[in-house]
Amino acid sequence: MIALSLAEIAAIVGGQSHDIPDPSAQVTGSVVIDSRRVAPGSLFAAFAGEHVDGHDYARVAYEAGAVAVLAARPVGVPAIVVDDVQGALGALAREVVRRLGTDVVALTGSSGKTSTKDLIAQVLQRHAPTVYTPGSLNNEIGLPLTALTATSETRHLVLEMGARGIGHIRYLTGLTPPRIGLVLNVGTAHIGEFGGREQIAEAKGELVEVLPADGCAVLNADDPLVRAMAPRTKARVLLFGEAEDADVRAENVRLTEAGQPSFRLHTPSGCSDVTLRLYGEHHVSNALAAAAVAHELGMPVDEIALALSEAGTLSRWRMEVTERPDGVTVVNDAYNANPESMRAALRALAAMGKGRRTWAVLGPMAELGDESLAEHDAVGRLAVRLNVSKLVAVGDREASWLQLGAYNEGSWGEESVHVSDAQAAVDLLRSELRPGDVVLVKASRSIGLERVALALLDGGVEGEVAAR
């Protein structure tokens, strides 16, 4: 963060100083919400959570080097006391971003946000100093914490924005007003909370509505609900996709033998060839989105193509591909799941596993509401249609719907099996995997199915899997 005195911070957030001997003392380090991450010069923001109250760790943070605590009450050490710690954190981020004057790139979508954000970050880092959302910290706390890591040298600030309802993205854009807004897609993630895809589109489109007239709305030309957002913005519109009228588009898309996409990238400034290190054809759209942002920020097409071809996976458990010494390939895509990302992962598995036995270890998809049964059934059926050798459905009711879809689509009923939990899945796989097999592991984050992938890669964690 840029250096600010405690007096400046108090004025920005509208707080009262308590137990501060020197208001001119400066915060020169990061703003953190975990006392274990405090370093000399930090500001510790104390949040009262469901199980842990950060105020109880104020002295620990201060003794570890925090200059002060941003708190909702006096804590016996130097503190700036406010009515609402979250609101104060947002106000501080908004002022820091305003002072920096950096280019803010905001992106949202039902699926692929984190993978695309990681691609954009890796491309832009070749262009100028770039700060970006770590992992998927895309909510009312994670976004300002990311923005506050920007410094006077930061040229590009890339922020992922999530939403679970109308107004969420508008709130986030109020903290860090973007000049470039990217909407990837409108799918069915969280459809149970929103009520329908039209409501999801309404929420995602809040991003383009706030863009300034000299800004740029980067929209997916292949998604009708995203393309239809163009009239909702006063910014210039830049389309990406495989559609013929897309400003940034892909031609001659194909997959390598390993399942990695290759294509000819077309931009308004020229063309160049790209071969991604990522797995699955769905990453073509993500790469085009990143290319469109980079083009808007002035990068030449050859540099964009090179950066895309060299980019890897920054965030864990997202199509992480590891080959064991015995030749079994484990694809850990267990961070999260929705119907769109499930279908994309299954297609990637089919492409990677040509001529090999393939296993889809799938768990429930959360927050689908009334669509849950139909969507789980459809994913199970797709696994069979793609000739996945075996679907292993893990969990309770929703998992049984996955298995039933596969069973009804299959010929002999041997294409799928339903197991109760992660340990049962591990036991099954350890007894039946053969060298050369490819295993995909995917489910909603709350299920914790990454434990299956970790167990397959490290036989020593069986106890951990069973105990969780």
Residues 6 or more apart whose CB falls under 8 angstroms from that of 253 comprise 242, 261, 262, 263, 281, 284
What's the token pair of residue 287? Answer: 């790469």
Looking at the predicted structure, is the pLDDT value of residue 263 above 70?
yes
Question: Residue 438: beta bridge partners?
Answer: 329, 358
pLDDT given for residue 177 in this prediction: 97
pLDDT grade for 192, boundaries at 50, 70 and 90: low
The DSSP code sequence of 134-166 is -TT--STTHHHHHHTT--TT--EEEEE---SST
pLDDT given for residue 190 in this prediction: 66
pLDDT grade for 265, boundaries at 50, 70 and 90: very high
Rounded average pLDDT over 388-411: 94
CA distances to 196, 287, 423 from 428, in Å = 38, 36, 9
Element spanning 4, H or E: strand 4-5
Q: What are 75-95's pLDDT values in tens digits?
A: 999 999 999 999 999 999 999
Give percent above pLDDT 70 in the chain.
97
Q: What are 223-233's pLDDT values in tens digits?
A: 999 999 999 99
CA distances to 34, 233, 261, 412, 453 from 178, in Å = 28, 13, 30, 54, 37
If you count DSSP H runs as helices and E runs as strands, how many of each does the chain have, helices first? Answer: 18, 22
Looking at the predicted structure, is the pLDDT value of residue 457 above 80?
yes
- Tell me the C-alpha distance between 420 and 466, whole Å: 12
Q: For residues 207 and 181, is the Cβ–Cβ distance under 8 A? A: yes
pLDDT grade for 468, boundaries at 50, 70 and 90: very low
* Arithmetic mean of pLDDT over the chain: 93
Give percent above pLDDT 90 in the chain.
83
- Tell me the C-alpha distance between 176 and 178, whole Å: 6
- Tell me the C-alpha distance between 319 and 415, whole Å: 23
Q: What are 31-90's pLDDT values in tens digits?
A: 999 999 999 999 999 999 889 999 999 999 999 999 999 999 999 999 999 999 999 999
Rounded average pLDDT over 152-172: 95
Element spanning 31, H or E: strand 31-32
pLDDT-wise least confident of 148-162, 179-193, 337-351: 179-193
Question: Residue 393: beta bridge partners?
Answer: 362, 418
Looking at the predicted structure, is the pLDDT value of residue 191 above 50?
yes
Predicted structure pTM score = 0.87
pLDDT given for residue 189 in this prediction: 66
